[in-house]
Chains A and B, each alone.
Chain A
Amino acid sequence: MHNIFSRVNNVSALFSSCMMGLLVAIALSTLLFTADPKGNLNIASVKVFPMKNRRVSARKQDLAFVNFNITADLRPLFNWNTKQLFLYLEAEYANGQGAKNEVVIWDRIVRRKEDAVINVIGKNKYMFRELSSTFKNVPPAHYALKYNVMPHVGALTYGEAGRTLEAVPFPESRERVS
């Protein structure tokens, strides 16, 4: 039975098992890289304005506007199995009832090692609102810079690159003067 069919069959079986072995080895090799770089996160200001946003509600609700500075060197996270880095800044707070809330206010995709030195003076990219539609009586919030390492093949890993030392309070909501 050494016809063309069985030969093709054998060669493709060998090829696919070698490929699987290689992929598993690459995926496992990622576990050896345990870089945990830290950066600096600084909240410059938080402002709260009552505003109307038609996408979510017809009524006015408090929206928070956050200005922040980030400096971080995340180059150690790039190894041979890193496809990209998903970097995000989140606000964490417990509302008046003690329920935990996490809101991403800014994110960035880093695809190259050269771009992994982060130096940002920015403001929130996404709407920051509270479920109860007001930030009154909401305790101060912590902000954290987190990242998600996405591999070419294998498991996704998460980590934290920075966190505010002290909680940042929400100011009183006030009408914007224009």
Chain B
Amino acid sequence: MFGEELKQFQRLGFRHVLLQVLNFASVIASGLMIWKGLGLITNSESPIVVVLSGSMEPAFYRGDLLFLTNPASEKYKTGDITVYKIPGADIPIVHRVLETHDVVKKKSKRSKTALTGTGEQLLLTKGDNNEVDDIELYQGLDWLERKHIVGKVRGFLPYVGYVTIAMNDFPQLKYALLGGLGLLALVQRE
């Protein structure tokens, strides 16, 4: 069954195989570069996320794609939809900001400039589809802070992210897809 392919392989020669491997690697590398570049521009560790839960229904459903930015100079406002990650929790959560409280830094003897800084903001969030706010989700914290926030939702594309959810739910699909792509990249003649 694989005799034909093997013969083709020998006909193409070792250099061609190497070239295909190189092509494959450059595709992966440019993908990674685009992802990290987007992260730099948007100041967010993951500028595109997939909605994993139904707590923001009917605004966002499972599998919707969200585009995030997180400008350091911009404060969070109520009504903003943020993606946050609590240390210790493994998945990020997409919820809407319910309360913001600016905290004026106390003037300390060591840093007198602290008062002119933007200061910290304490945030409380809530999912549109949840009855109560998120205090229970914060794992002991009373408020969210900027360091927990991955980004603010700016744009929205429905359904597209469902591919990744399907791949997580059925790992066989993931391996089949990766293997198929890899094989195609190696065998293709042009």
Q: Mark A residues whose CB is within 8 Å of B.
A: 23, 27, 55-56, 83-84, 86, 88, 90, 97-104, 109, 111, 126, 131, 146, 148, 150-156, 158
Q: Are B79 and A99 in contact (CB under 8 A)?
A: no
What is the bound-complex CA distance between A88 and B126, given in angstroms? 13
Known: A90-B78, A151-B156. A98 touches B104 (CB 8 A): yes
Q: Which of B40-48, B94-102, B166-174 is the interface stretch? A: B94-102
Known: A86-B79, A156-B153, A158-B79. A101 touches B101 (CB 8 A): yes
Interface size class of B (residues with CB under 8 A): 20 to 34
Shortest beta-carbon distance from A37 to chain B in Å: 17
A147 — nearest CB in chain B belongs to which residue?
B79
Q: Are B79 and A100 in contact (CB under 8 A)?
A: no
What is the bound-complex CA distance between A98 and B105, given in angstroms? 11
Q: Are A83 and B59 in contact (CB under 8 A)?
A: yes
Q: Are A126 and B122 in contact (CB under 8 A)?
A: no
Q: Mark B residues whose CB is within 8 Å of A.
A: 58-59, 77-79, 81, 96, 98-104, 119, 122, 126, 128, 132-133, 135, 142, 153-158
- Pick the contact of B78: A27, A98, A104, A109 (CB < 8 A): A104
Q: Are A131 and B79 in contact (CB under 8 A)?
A: no
Q: Are B155 and A97 in contact (CB under 8 A)?
A: no
Q: Are A104 and B156 in contact (CB under 8 A)?
A: no
Chain A interface SS verdict (over half)? strand
A-chain residues with CB within 8 Å of residue B79 when the two chains form the complex:
86, 88, 90, 104, 146, 148, 158
A-chain residues with CB within 8 Å of residue B102 when the two chains form the complex:
99-101
What is the bound-complex CA distance between A83 and B154, given in angstroms? 15
B106 — nearest CB in chain A belongs to which residue?
A97
